Amino acid sequence: MSICYALAIFAALIWAVFGTGAIRGAHLGQIAGGWLEPDATVMAVPLIGQVPWFGLMAGLGIYAVWQCMPTARHSELHGRLRGWVLALVLFNALWLQLLQRDRMGFSLIFALLMLAVLVRIVVMIDRAELCNNMDRWITRASFGLFTGWLGIIVLGEAGAWLAALGVDSTRLMFKGIAALVLLLVSLLLCALTFIRPIGLYINAGALWVVFWITIDRFFWQVSSPLFAAVSSIATLLLCLCLISSLRTRIHRLRHRDENFGK
């Protein structure tokens, strides 16, 4: 059962990577009618912010192999996750297929469905007892990083969709609202960083994208001092929370090991 499930995951991942042209260098900007190019809107994600998608696909592949291992094969958690993960990789492939066909509105729906499925998966992982350290690293990283990364990517796509509908993305109001939404989402992710260990991974996934958006708005494609200033604050808050939470986590692990050795 778990092997068949893993093969289904790999089939969906191969469809996403090869069927959408991503492996040939067709990044998000090229497969969405140009509306996701780095100079399209202030919320557009530069290419370097999109690159982790390939690593995230590899992470899902590693998870598919891991859940076949004897340690995880009979785990109640991984049994309950299988349907959700399969839905995730299918939505992922459909999301990119629709972007390639310039159906941004429909692709945004699938992106939101992916995000909803990821949130459900993260909650399930958070409430369960994982088998061992390897299980914790693979499972949390595979879905935590993806959740944080996709959360910011969805914001960028939503901004591009509004611009494609005719909203003037050069107006100060558009930039101000985009900056406020980014800041609020970042504050939410900062709070999640301290709740559970998987929050570290969610933060890290989002931080990568927010950081490169900020750099791009300051120096590269789209110059927007207002948006860049707000996104800088978001980047700084995410970074500080990540470092603080990492230090707390490391301290707890050391303290636990010291007590165990006594």
Q: Model confidence over 57-80: pLDDT tens digits? A: 999 999 999 888 887 777 888 889
Tell me how far CA of residue 99 lies from CA of 36, 49, 107, 137, in angstroms: 10, 17, 6, 31
222 pLDDT higher than 70: no
Among the ranges given (20-34, 200-214, 245-259), the one the predictor scored with the smallest mean pLDDT: 20-34
Rounded to 5°, the CA angle 165-171-173 comes to 95
Q: How far apart are the first and last CA of the chain?
A: 43
- Taking the CB of residue 225, how many other CB atoms lie within 10 A of it? 10
CB 201 within 8 A of CB 249: no
CB neighbour class for 184 (10 Å; exposed up to 12, middle 13-18, buried from 19): exposed
Q: Model confidence over 91-135: pLDDT tens digits? A: 999 998 888 888 889 999 999 999 999 999 999 998 887 878 788
Between 141 and 26, name the one with better pLDDT: 141
